[in-house]
Amino acid sequence: MRMGPAELVQAAAMARRFYLEGKSKIQIAEEFGVSRFKVARVLETALERDLVRIEIRVPAELDAERSDALRARYGLRHAVVVESPAEEQDDAPDPENLGEVAADLLGELVAEGDVLGLAWGRSTIHMAAALDRLPPCTVVQLTGVYDAGTAERGSVEAVRRAAQVSGGEAHPIYAPMLLPDPATAAALREQTGIARAFEYFDKVTVAAVSIGSWEPGISTVHDMLSDEERAHYASLGVAAEMSAHLFDADGRRVGRDLGERCITVEADRLRRIPEVVAIAGGQRKAAAIGAVLRSGLVTSLVTDTAAADYLLTESAAGVRPALERADPDGE
């Protein structure tokens, strides 16, 4: 039915009270001398007749619909999806804007007195470079570096940068991620500086990690191994890598012997960290991201639309809500 001028004026006034001034329906009913049910009907009619328009706006680079769908599908605590680059290169690493968005997310998640853990990865390095606000917190490195010779341009610098922004202590690890044998790795773990960093692993409250798929240039560990070793782990069904831990497509850990040669946070410790934010995107990493989400090791994800579209359409079989922190191996 058509609304008369008096009805239109009253509906506009009620809508202004409710949407702009924040008054309750009961308060509006008392002011206009009607029932709160009448107020509810008028507000509903105002929406139907386009007298009131509700617009939800987020920055153009954020995809709110995909973010919410991804969060619900995997039971994530937080899922943030950003627009993929207009022309994504097949061999491109994670889009750099993922690091910028992840930096803003950490600014929300980290509280004063927290212990922030950073694992090696291009995306976490980009994130640290983009940080401009963090409450006072301790920052600890969760993995060794890809190449000790580039430490100042990698994870060590990321840890120092985050600590500088927060004004807290920094606990970097000056050691390669992968060692030739378990004995060398064990000896390094006993060194004073590295042992001190490891002591903080059980205190980490928020962690940022990267994800890699098992192929050249997309997985740090893959690139550090010999051809023979790569073939061996590929035969075990490796689909993804995170912090030197390998996973098959169902999120189960494989090639656990590799961990004995690595300087990295153990999987069981990672699972106990209250908030683990994975930062990864791109079509080439999409399946790997899905595998890691099924591992139960992460609680939140920053990704792009290219990866999100894959994750939202892949088979639901084996998908485990991330907040359950369930181990697919039942351990």
Q: pLDDT (tens digit, 9 = 90+) per residue, 53-88?
A: 776 655 557 888 899 999 988 989 999 999 887 655
What is the spatial order of strands in the sheet that 245-247 belongs to?
Answer: 212-213, 240-242, 245-247, 253-254
The predicted model gives 265-281 an average pLDDT of 94
Burial, 283: exposed, middle or buried (Cβ in 10 Å; 0-12, 13-18, 19+)? middle
Strands 115-118 and 138-141: parallel
Q: Which of 47-56, 110-119, 253-262, 306-315 has the least mean pLDDT?
A: 47-56
- Nearest residue to 146 via CA among 291, 244, 36, 281: 244
pLDDT-derived band at 148 (thresholds 50, 70, 90) equals very low
The model scores a pTM over 0.75: yes
Inter-residue contact 217 to 285 (CB < 8 Å): no
E strand or H helix at 187? helix 182-189
C-alpha–C-alpha distance, residues 329 and 56, integer Å: 42
Amino acid 235 reads S
Question: What's the pLDDT score for residue 147?
Answer: 58
Q: Write down the mean pLDDT value for the chain.
A: 87
Question: What's the pLDDT score for residue 92?
Answer: 55
What is the dihedral sign for C-alpha 203, 122, 291, 175? negative
